[in-house]
Amino acid sequence: MNVFPDILPMSSWLPVVSPPFVIAGPCSAESEEQVLSTARELAKIPQVRVFRAGLWKPRTRPSSFEGVGKRGLQWLAKVKAETGLLTTVEVANPRHVEEALSHGIDILWIGARTVVNPFSIQEISEVLQGVDIAVMVKNPLNPDIKIWIGALERLNQAGIRKLIAVHRGFSFFAHTPYRNSPMW
């Protein structure tokens, strides 16, 4: 049974030159110069079609760097204008979504910390009602596929047809060679 019969194939809306399809950029955007210089170099690689940068960083401790926030959206607009790369940013609440949409972000992504909260996903879905945008959804840190599918279903029920499920691995207490074990 296909739970998502109306999801559009990625190839119908995302320009893929040749495999592998690469989304690249700094985990954390720290300055306009860092973002633009990174984007200029990445744009030289044909497989890189989307530039990503973390603007809002969900940190456990309040004294940690939590990102540059909204001002980084202007940097991503410059990246898009200068390089032609599509842009993506992680959003964790309705305000982030509204700000990203107002700055022409092409793809939103929901991070592993946000995907575990059905209330947050529902609020984001409600803001996206009627919006034609792609949304990438990372799996939760713990191996619970129901949480992950639930987030995808909420977004799909809000009318999102361009969905990408991103497997970023799972967190374990055991030492592994990976930050998050892939468990393909």
Cα-flanking dihedrals φ and ψ of residue 71, to 5°? -60, -25
0.85 exceeded by pTM: yes
Q: Using an 8 Å Cβ cutoff, are 125 and 154 in contact?
A: yes
| Structure confidence at residue 139 (pLDDT) | 86
Measured distance CA(56)–CA(159) in Å, rounded: 25
| Structure confidence at residue 70 (pLDDT) | 96
Kindly give the residue spans of alpha helices, DSSP state H, lying in the chain.
Answer: 32-42, 71-83, 94-102, 112-115, 118-128, 145-157
Q: Using an 8 Å Cβ cutoff, are 151 and 160 in contact?
A: no
Angle between helices 118-128 and 145-157 (to 10 degrees): 20
Q: In what order do the strands lie in the sheet with 22-24?
A: 22-24, 48-52, 86-90, 107-110, 134-138, 162-166
Name which of 2, 49, 10, 5 is nearest 136 in CA terms.
Answer: 10
Q: Using an 8 Å Cβ cutoff, are 29 and 66 in contact?
A: no
| Structure confidence at residue 12 (pLDDT) | 84
| Structure confidence at residue 63 (pLDDT) | 85
Q: Using an 8 Å Cβ cutoff, are 128 and 100 in contact?
A: no
Q: What is the DSSP letter of 111?
A: -
If one looks up domain 91-184 in CATH, what number appears? 3.40.50
For residue 128, count CB atoms less than 10 angstroms from its CB and return exposed for 0-12, middle for 13-18, buried for 19 or more: buried
| Structure confidence at residue 34 (pLDDT) | 98
| Structure confidence at residue 171 (pLDDT) | 64
Q: What is the mean pLDDT of each run of 10 residues along the chain (184 residues)?
A: 75 75 93 98 94 91 88 98 97 98 97 94 97 94 86 96 85 65 61
